[in-house]
Amino acid sequence: MIRKQTFGRTGHESTVTIFGAAALGRVTQAEADRTLDVLLEYGVNHIDTAASYGDAELRMGPWMAEHRRHFFLATKTGERTYAKAKEEIQRSLERMRVDQVDLIQLHNLVHPDDWDIAMGPGGALEAAVEAREQGLVRFIGVTGHGLTVAAMHRRSLLQFDFDSVLLPYNYALMQNGRYANDFDRLIDLCEERNVAVQTIKAITRGPWGSLEHTHNTWYQPLTEQEDIDKAVHWVIGRAGLFLNTVGDTQLVPRVFDAASRFNSRPTDEEMAQVMSEERMTSLFA
């Protein structure tokens, strides 16, 4: 089984490895059902999806009818205005066949222009707050990608009291000094405010480049269990962090398996060896 820790101020004891439902975006209902059953096998009790993850919310709908009460359920809206975000939040509830989600997140809020719209008057944040007041959602978070995301999340937290953040974190990315510094400053603020920190891209190897896409991920992932073990253990070995799983149903069980066997964090020397042998690079220039 995978250990649990408190998901920030929500009080929910979530497994440190959260199921990233992007993996369900382009699969059949049968494959989605098989993948969701793996969550029960490993005791995973937290699901993170998004309106933009293809058919993921639709694939979760039939399963939620039976299992909703067992999971902390999160989704995201990528809309920036109040009206469109309100509509998308309602659509997500309908697609998943639920009356409430535990967490709504402003999706990939990184570009300054998007930030100004979403966080300003008539922006998506107002729709999220209204949904919370109406009991449609319980908590509000913010997510993002890229090298500026940690700094932008800190800006977001200084503007609004978000309950969670989500951003990339892996050994190769943290070799970028500026990103590492921004990440650590964000973590300090999150610890001070008891904000949950979710991480993504744990098993990233690098961009696909000219290589054939062998998995349903927009990046080239690590695939060998030993390498996945080290990458996963390195992330969840840092106190307080959560790891959101990979967007490929074939790799999800390997990530859960790695998390279930965690005992210690790999050393920097061990991770540097994996990075060298697998030619791991940052996704972001």
Kindly report the CA angle at 265 between 262 and 269, in degrees rounded to 5? Answer: 135
Locus of tokens 């009291």:
161
Per the CB < 8 A criterion, the answer to whether 84 and 112 are in contact is no
Which DSSP string do the residues of the chain spell out, in sequence order?
---EEE-GGG--EEESEEEEGGGGTTS-HHHHHHHHHHHHHHT--EEE--TTSTTHHHHHHHHHHHHGGGSEEEEEE---BHHHHHHHHHHHHHHHT-S-EEEEEETT--SHHHHHHHHSTTBHHHHHHHHHHTTSEEEEEEE--STTHHHHHHHHHHHS--SEEEEE--TTGGGSHHHHHHHHHHHHHHHHHT-EEEEE-TTEEE--TTS---SSSSSEEP-SHHHHHHHHHHHHTSTTEEEEPPS-TTTHHHHHHHHHT--SPPPHHHHHHHHHHTT---S--
Q: What is the mean pLDDT of the chain?
A: 94
pTM summary value? 0.95
Over residues 225-249, mean pLDDT: 96
In the chain, what percentage of residues exceed pLDDT 70? 94
Give the model confidence (pLDDT) of 102-156 as tens digits.
999 999 999 999 999 999 999 999 999 999 999 999 999 999 999 999 999 999 9
Per-residue exposure over 41-51, b if at least 16 CB sit within 10 Å of its own CB, e if not: ebebbbbbbbb
Q: Domains in the chain, please, with CATH?
A: 4-277 (3.20.20.100)
Over residues 8-16, mean pLDDT: 98
Over residues 213-237, mean pLDDT: 86
- What does the pLDDT read at residue 267? 96
Over residues 214-221, mean pLDDT: 69
- What does the pLDDT read at residue 208? 56
Q: Which residues contact 276 (CB under 8 A, 6 or more apart)?
A: none
Over residues 169-186, mean pLDDT: 96
Residue 213 has pLDDT above 90, yes or no: no
- What does the pLDDT read at residue 220? 77
Over residues 171-176, mean pLDDT: 94
